[in-house]
Structure 1
Amino acid sequence: MSDLLDRYEGGAESPIAYPDYDGFIDVAQMDKFVRELRDVERRGGIRITRGRGLKSEQIKHARLESPPLLYELLGRRPVGQLMEAATGRLLEGLELPVQFETSLDALRSAWSRGREWQGFSLDDADRLRPAFVMAKAIFEQRHVGLDYRTFSRRFAGDSKALERLEGPVVRLLSGLVEVPPAARPRDALRTLGLEKFAPPILLSGRLDFDVAELSAAAPRYFGIPPAEAERLRFRERPEYVLTVENFASFSRHLMEADPHRVGITIYVGGYPSLATQSALKTIATALPANIPFFHWSDIDPDGTWIFRTIERAIARELKPHLMSVDLADRLGKLPADRTRLPTGTMPSAMSDLVAYLRRDDAKWLEQEELDPKLPPANAW
């Protein structure tokens, strides 16, 4: 009977259960089971169907007729009531912005059918509550300037809470803020500014750093804390600035395409963190408006997301480098799974590629498949 209610709560309108006669210990246990089912049938809770021929006295299956009666007989509360109680504990004293309603509806729908939401059942409401608290704080921009653990401790009372709840937090924010379409939750949080500590940003070019004349030492590349980008000095006018998603492509570009460092090449570390985005803005602001900026990524939804993110960060024209519909069509491969593309209507040099990637026959291309080359000299 519990199985009937489980399936009823899972969405079956009139579920049927079949007795497992092989599972009974002895005949006495089987007889007790049959008597109980017949008693519930007399009360109107179930309808029994018997077998045929030699099995005409044997119960073939039982169909649920009156869920309220079975709840009463089993002393069990309907899952809808349990869901309301659980969401009440989850949201007690927490005034969520209206934008969270879609996620709440999905959670209520799952819990009202006895299913999990993001791996959490209705018995886990207390464990899930900090995810809603932290997602609300991020949506309201109260995480800005805080590192990963400080934020977690301040808003969840536990420095490791965000680490345990990254998935639900990012799921709650999806659609409310723009995050990478296929990123791991931790990478998505990095793009919003939540990371344990920002990794160094890697640069190559005829650059100095404060009083250090790195251009004279001519390292292939060097790293600085993103927050110290304002200490960079440009020894001479660069021919271009190129940001690169992939480290292998960044390294190959320096060795094969620009060994003389005529431009500035920057490795953004995959999905650029908020600190990296801020450093790129600092660099863009410091350079004349007629120096062209380029970005080189994979030709796929994440590549277009990274391009659009850098484009917003630098607040100046950004051109795609080795990222075109023609390259994808000639050299790319059809993906196994499609991924959500960036949303929004901002004008972008990536618009044509985004439109192409929305097609069912669109191909994707990893940037490592291409040999590096200098951006065009007449790009501006």
Structure 2
Amino acid sequence: MSNSVYLTLTERIINLINLPSELVVKTMVNLTPGRFDFYFKAPLSTRLACHEALEALCTQSKGLRLVYSPKALNEESKLKSIAVTDGRLLLNALGVEIQSGLVKDAILQLLNSVHDHVEWLHDIVTEVCAAWQVGKKPYSTGPEQVRKMLDAFTFITWYEKQGNGCVNTDIRTLSAKLYGPTKQLENLIGLIASLYKPRLTPEIAECKPAEIMAYLGVSRFPPNIQAKGPLIIHQKYSGQLDISMSWPSASCPPDAIEKIDVTKIPTYLLCIENKTTFERYTREINDNGLVVYTNGFPSRSWIRVFKLIETQLPRQVPIYHWGDVDEGGYNILAFLDRQFTREVIPHCMLPSTVRTYDEQKEVSLDKLKDALLNSTSPSIEGLHTQIQALIDSGQKVYWIEQEHLPVLACMTKRP
């Protein structure tokens, strides 16, 4: 039936009786011009066709009865009310699933699985069950997607048992291990990211789902940590890797690293966000610095390694970070500043007022400033002050690809 009035009427009735908390078996729906104007304003031929379809539905379902308004001679028929006499029979005739049964079954599945979960998932289950009972979709997931929620719980339970900083795996191999199908986990990353967001720092929580998964240590192609400088890495199964003997750098999977020795005190530690910039710096600058690549937002497994390095460094060795001069780059800067026990000094990260080419896009100074709001280290506060000065001056600043910037060595003293 393509009659729009009939379809709208039946949809209204379904929504009235098919509640997530219960099925309304009997009710009376009074048709008033205010609430059902689409019916009263419809052409006569459309209303008569609607009546015919509803009468057929009454006969088919045995759960519906029509009540017409009294009419004078030759006056057209109009519905006064529609009585639902058996909501279950009506929904069955319309081929509509009963929501309360679906919700009840989905909640039961969640509650039966809760004993296998990590502690904080118990709160998620309580939240989701309460929301489903009132017709809401927490984390954009309804009761009809309970299997998806359970699969997300499977990943989280597995992940939390590994221990923070110990995961560095490709997403398809892990999917095969947890579910069978190799692409199943890729279909869950949006939900998993949403479930983890309240438990992540603001910088990480604002990332895209794939970036959040990479931070957790699960990505399409897990990268190796790259470094240049006086390091010896003690690997789990293959002995020692002397980074200082490799030029321009050397790499190692983070989960293979058991211990790190700094063989010579470096003049600084520099973290670099971008691969191209890291490759340029390690080739063009040859000094006593220690340089590591962060791969954008470093994952938990990478942060573990960075902290191992820091424990080997005397307090007087400064830590620098060179990242993009945009909101993402500043989020990484603020994030790293909280990971180390000493302040992180921004390197070459002051916004530029010079346009180097015509298509160069502008950068929002307000967003840069907001990204640094939670950082209290002196160097980052100084950068925050410089940004505020640019805002006050009304100058425009531009996003610069790091390939346009000269490679400048870090200073042992702040400029």
Q: TM-score range by the shorter chain?
A: 0.5 to 0.7
Would you say 1:284 and 2:319 are equivalent positions? no
Q: Which has the larger radius of gyration?
A: 2
Cross-structure match for 1:268? 294
Q: How many residues align?
A: 358
Q: CA RMSD in A?
A: 5.3
Q: Distance in 2 between matches of 1:38 and 1:261?
A: 87
Distance 2:129 2:81 in 1: 26
Maintained 8 Å contact 2:327/2:371: yes
Aligned to 1:123: 144
1:3 alignment partner in structure 2: 11
Q: Contact 2:285/2:409 (CA < 8 Å) preserved in 1?
A: no
Q: How high is the TM-score relative to the length of structure 1?
A: 0.67
Contact 1:15 1:63 in 2 (8 A): no
Residue 90 of structure 1 contacts residue 126 of structure 1 at CA under 8 Å; is this kept in 2? no
Alpha-carbon distance in 2 for matches of 1:99, 1:329 = 48
In 1: Cα distance, 2:292 partner to 2:50 partner: 74
Q: Which amino acid aligns with 2:323?
A: S
TM-score by length of 2: 0.63
Q: Does 1:372 align with 2:393?
A: no
Q: State the secondary structure of the residue aligned to 2:199.
A: coil
Q: CA deviation at 1:312?
A: 4.0
Q: Tell me the amino acid that sits aligned with residue 290 of structure 1.
A: Q
CA apart distance, 1:239 = 2.4
Give the equivalent residue in structure 2 for 1:316: 342
Q: Does 1:245 align with 2:269?
A: no
Asked if the contact 1:143–1:194 (Cα under 8 Å) also holds between the matched residues in 2, the reply is: no
Summarize deviations over 1:131-177 as a string: whole Å, max 9, x none.
Answer: 13433554676576355478667766877653332221111111123
Change (3 A) 1:125 1:30: same
CA distance in structure 1 between the partners assigned to 2:147 and 2:242 by the alignment: 56
Choose the corresponding residue for 2:91, options 54, 70, 74. Answer: 74
Q: Does 1:333 align with 2:362?
A: yes
Judge conservation of contact 1:297–1:307 (CA < 8 Å) in 2: yes
Query: Kindly tell me: are residues 110 and 37 of structure 1, through their superposed partners in 2, closer, same or farther at Cα, counting changes over 3 Å?
Result: same
2:53 to 10, 24, 33: 33
Counterparts of 1:1-380 in structure 2 under 5 Å?
Answer: 1-5=9-13, 32-33=52-53, 35=55, 57=76, 73-75=90-92, 79-80=99-100, 82-94=102-114, 97=119, 101=123, 105=127, 109=131, 113=135, 120-136=141-157, 138=159, 145-146=166-167, 148=169, 161-178=184-201, 180-194=204-218, 198-205=222-229, 215=244, 219-226=247-254, 227-228=256-257, 230=259, 234=263, 236-255=264-283, 258-324=284-350, 327=351, 333-334=362-363, 347-348=376-377, 350=380, 365=399, 368=402, 370-379=405-414
SS at match of 1:294: strand
Q: Distance in 1 between matches of 2:332 and 2:84?
A: 52
Whichever residue aligns with residue 74 of structure 1, its letter is: L
Whether the aligned pair in 2 keeps the contact of 1:242 and 1:293 (CA below 8 Å) is yes
Give the CA deviation at 1:291: 1.4
- Share of identical aligned residues, percent? 19
Deviations 1:97-131 (A, max 9, x none): 46775786478657854x86666543221233121
Counterpart-to-counterpart distance in 2, 1:108 and 1:161: 27
What secondary structure is seen at the aligned counterpart in 1 of 2:198? Answer: coil
CA distance in 1, matches of 2:157, 2:398: 35
Quick one: structure 1 residues 209 and 166, their matched pair in 2 at CA, closer, same or farther if it must change by over 3 Å? closer
2:131/2:137 contact within 8 Å kept = no
1:145 is aligned with what amino acid?
C
